[in-house]
């Protein structure tokens, strides 16, 4: 199917917006931007509740400028979110397209991650124009340098780790903290640098338990540190298992903390609010100007439009310069350990 083409049909009059997959702080800011940009262009806006399943079930609400008052600082999503097995089937997507025709929806703005965009691509093949906005705390949308929610999740995790450090230092203990990120290490690496972690484990980088964990803890101890912070991405292994192995190897009984879904909640940071607002605005402008079946992504700080099919074939790699920086931050302790052995 031709992607990112100019819409030759009459100018759109009504658009829908939905949030799908895992929630992320800043989704409400994106919804608000979509609704208010649409209003400024005299377009009607329909809010679809509970993602793609809501589109199948015609679970909707009309949205106006007043509908989105006061949601900018709120976490979560006012439209709710869900995953839909039915939408994965051709029959489900046909029902969703039929809902669009029934409600007079000319195009859909879908806010979410790669799964959301795969759904959007399939819906576009049913003849419904779509635009995607990347929003996930994992920052694992390959076509975009940045996704809505990442900054807030990082700040939440760093705040939790700083609080843990206070009590762990008082008792001279080791902490193992597991952060989210699914199969990507962006969140763990960013948080590890910001929190001054002793070790960061990410799924993209293989590690040697003795060299990369045990010896780093020993080196930090010889350098005078009394507290050791191990940050683990959920895709790199179980924090509980790693904690047990540390105790067996060097006799330190770590305290394990799994931050879990606390990272998804809370008021979005200024960066996430601002990015979400710009993305929502650009998504509606693209549809209004006749561009469709694309994702609003970030590249080197600017917003760009990428055809969905092309975007879903792109690959983003962990920024190894950050991983190397982590090593340098502990280099003094490692050198001391090497010299004394």
- Rounded Cα distance, 175 and 157, in Å: 14
The reported pLDDT for the residue numbered 333 is 44
Band (pLDDT 50/70/90 cuts) for residue 9 is: very low
Band (pLDDT 50/70/90 cuts) for residue 98 is: very high
Q: Give the residue range(s) of CATH 3.40.50.450 domains in the chain.
A: 14-149+268-311
Q: 331-340 vs 215-222: helix axis angle to the nearest 10?
A: 90
β-pair type (199-201, 228-233): parallel
- Tens digits of per-residue pLDDT, 155-207? 999 999 999 988 887 767 899 999 999 899 999 999 999 999 999 999 999 99
Task: State the DSSP string of 245-285.
Answer: HHHHHHS--PEEEE-GGGGG-SPPPHHHHHHHHHHHHHHHH
The DSSP secondary-structure symbol of 6 reads B
What homologous superfamily does CATH list for 153-264?
Answer: Phosphofructokinase domain (3.40.50.460)
- Rounded Cα distance, 285 and 275, in Å: 15
The reported pLDDT for the residue numbered 330 is 67
Question: Among all residues, which ones are annotated catalytic?
Answer: 138
> Which three-class secondary structure state does DSSP give residue 201?
strand
Which one of 3.20.20.70, 3.40.50.450, 1.10.1200.10, 3.20.20.20 gives the CATH number of domain 14-149+268-311? 3.40.50.450
The reported pLDDT for the residue numbered 123 is 98
């Amino acid at each position: 199917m031709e992607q990112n083409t100019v819409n030759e049909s009459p100018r759109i009059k009504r658009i829908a917006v939905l949030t799908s997959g895992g929630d992320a702080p800043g989704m409400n800011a994106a919804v608000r931007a979509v609704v208010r940009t649409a209003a400024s262009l005299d377009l009607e806006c329909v809010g679809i509740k509970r993602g793609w399943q809501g589109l199948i079930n015609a679970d909707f609400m009309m949205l106006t400028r007043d509908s989105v008052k006061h949601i900018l600082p709120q976490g979560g999503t006012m439209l709710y979110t869900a995953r839909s097995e039915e939408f994965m089937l051709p029959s489900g997507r046909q029902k969703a397209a039929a809902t669009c025709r029934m409600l007079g929806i000319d195009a859909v703005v879908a806010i979410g991650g790669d799964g959301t965009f795969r759904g959007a691509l399939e819906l576009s093949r049913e003849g419904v124009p779509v635009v995607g906005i990347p929003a996930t705390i994992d920052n694992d949308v390959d076509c975009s340098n940045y996704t809505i929610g990442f900054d807030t999740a990082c700040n939440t995790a760093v705040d939790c780790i700083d609080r843990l450090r206070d009590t762990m230092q008082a008792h001279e203990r080791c902490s193992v903290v597991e952060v989210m990120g699914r199969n990507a290490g962006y969140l763990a690496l960013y948080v590890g640098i910001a929190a001054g972690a002793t070790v960061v484990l990410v799924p993209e980088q293989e590690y040697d338990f003795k060299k990369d964990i045990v010896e780093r803890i020993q080196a930090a101890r010889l350098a005078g540190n009394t507290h050791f912070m191990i940050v683990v991405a959920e895709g790199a292994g179980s924090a509980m298992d790693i904690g047990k192995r540390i105790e067996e190897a060097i006799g330190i009984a770590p305290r394990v903390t799994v931050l879990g879904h606390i990272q998804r909640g809370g008021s979005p940071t200024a960066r996430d609010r601002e990015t979400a607002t710009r993305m929502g605005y650009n998504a509606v402008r693209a549809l209004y100007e006749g561009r469709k079946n694309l994702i609003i992504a970030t590249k080197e700080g600017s917003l760009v439009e990428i055809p969905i099919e092309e975007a879903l074939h792109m690959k983003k790699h962990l920024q190894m310069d950050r991983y190397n920086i982590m090593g340098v931050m502990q280099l003094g302790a490692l050198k001391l350990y090497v010299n004394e052995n």
